[in-house]
Amino acid sequence: MLKAYKYRLYPNEEQKNYFANCFGCARFIYNQMLSDKIDHYKETKQMLNNTPAQYKEAFPFMKAVDSLALANAQQNLERAYKNFFRDKSIGFPKFKSKHRSKASYTTNNQGGNIRIEDGKIKLPKIGCVKLVQHRTFQGKIKSCTISMNKSGNYFISILVESADETPQLVERKIGIDLGISDFAITTNDLGETEKHKNPKPLYKSEKKLKKAQRSLSLKQKGGKNRNKARLKVAKKHEKIANQRKDFLHKLSKKITDENQVIVIETLSSKNLMKNHKLAKSIGDAGWYEFVRQLEYKSKQKGRTLIKADRFYPSSQVCSSCGHRDGKKPLNIREWDCPTCGEYLDRDINASKNLLALAK
């Protein structure tokens, strides 16, 4: 089983320079190879098979960085091509930009040249870099991706191969409705319903972000203060992303720890629209990320994740008697079933209907 662990890195100045070179070279070789592939295809209608080694003579500065960083850039490019050929809607591989693309490079463990010792990680070509490991792992390091975010913090994501654990089966089943005022509403087969609120600190951070964005928009272009303001906005964005991720990880862990069968609605453009309209106060509500986490955690723990058909009328049917009432506008949050008289809360009712799909 492969699992990634992400930690903060604290490189010294020399190491920061080295990382900047690696980011730059990985981006450079990617773009160079992409551009040559495009030209070659225009001329010959054939795909060019190029490798980083062919470029080292012409661009000797690339010799200073980890050659695996370049090999991984090549692999990324090939993956981007493969994805494009598999599904044209993904789009043709794009050139990487210094400002818009993520600054990162990947290197591989070869014969133990990457290892963690005394709060430091040993990396090819640069030696030991300080890291803060808030949790440890068991297993063999396969590869590492070093990255820098917009506010200049460094991270390392370590891919680890570990023995498969035999999953512990549990009994419970749960239905999850993704909500608007609450992030998610769940009902399990014991009839326990829970509303999981969006974390309050998120709203606070959101307010601060808006303030920082306003202040940035007032700064003159090219002015000294503009960069400062931009950095502030980037930091607020990161804070929100971290708070949201933290919340989603806790919730997806709890749900996959406690339940054997998990039913969730399929995200469609329709409910993303409702998400966009009504949940925009907290920005992207993180539904996609939440479903992604439920997917991989279910896989790790041997759970069954069922995605309801996108046309499954989870909010139109009475969960008590099965009477189908037809579509209801989003502002209708509760009603009494005209057939059996049961009082229905829209989100709880939907989570119960989703639970009914658990086998």
As measured in angstroms, the least distance from the Cβ of 352 to Zn ion is 11
3-state secondary structure at position 10: strand
As measured in angstroms, the least distance from the Cβ of 139 to Zn ion is 51
At 116, give phi and psi (nearest 5°): -105, 130
- The footprint of Zn ion (CB under 5 A) covers 318, 320-321, 323, 337, 339-340, 342
Antiparallel, parallel or unpaired: β 304-308 and 259-265: parallel
| Closer CB to Zn ion, 167 or 322, in the complex | 322
3-state secondary structure at position 135: coil
In this structure, the number of other CB atoms found within 10 A of the CB of residue 75 comes to 11
Active site residue 36: no
Instruction: Please report which helix (H) or strand (E) contains residue 106, including its range.
Output: strand 103-108
| Closer CB to Zn ion, 248 or 318, in the complex | 318
As measured in angstroms, the least distance from the Cβ of 178 to Zn ion is 23
As measured in angstroms, the least distance from the Cβ of 343 to Zn ion is 10
In the set 265, 295, 334, 345, the catalytic residue is 265
Q: Are 160 and 3 in contact (CB under 8 A)?
A: yes
Please name which of 250, 49, 3 lies closest in space to residue 143, comparing C-alpha atoms.
Answer: 3
At 277, give phi and psi (nearest 5°): -65, -45
Active site residue 177: yes
Q: What is the largest CA-CA distance in the chain?
A: 79
| Closer CB to Zn ion, 144 or 344, in the complex | 344
As measured in angstroms, the least distance from the Cβ of 344 to Zn ion is 8
Residues 76, 30: Cα–Cα separation, whole Å: 8
| Closer CB to Zn ion, 219 or 323, in the complex | 323
Strand partners for 176: 186, 264
Active site residue 39: no
Amino acid 46 reads Q
**209-218 residues labelled b (16+ CB within 10 A) or e (exposed):** beebeeebee
| Closer CB to Zn ion, 77 or 318, in the complex | 318
As measured in angstroms, the least distance from the Cβ of 345 to Zn ion is 13
| Closer CB to Zn ion, 232 or 346, in the complex | 346
Q: What is the DSSP letter of 284?
A: S
Amino acid 186 reads T
As measured in angstroms, the least distance from the Cβ of 325 to Zn ion is 8
In this structure, the number of other CB atoms found within 10 A of the CB of residue 267 comes to 16
| Closer CB to Zn ion, 218 or 340, in the complex | 340
Rg of the chain, C-alpha, whole Å: 25
**297-324 residues labelled b (16+ CB within 10 A) or e (exposed):** bbeebebebbbbeeebebbebbbeeeee
Q: Which residues carry out catalysis?
A: 177, 265, 347
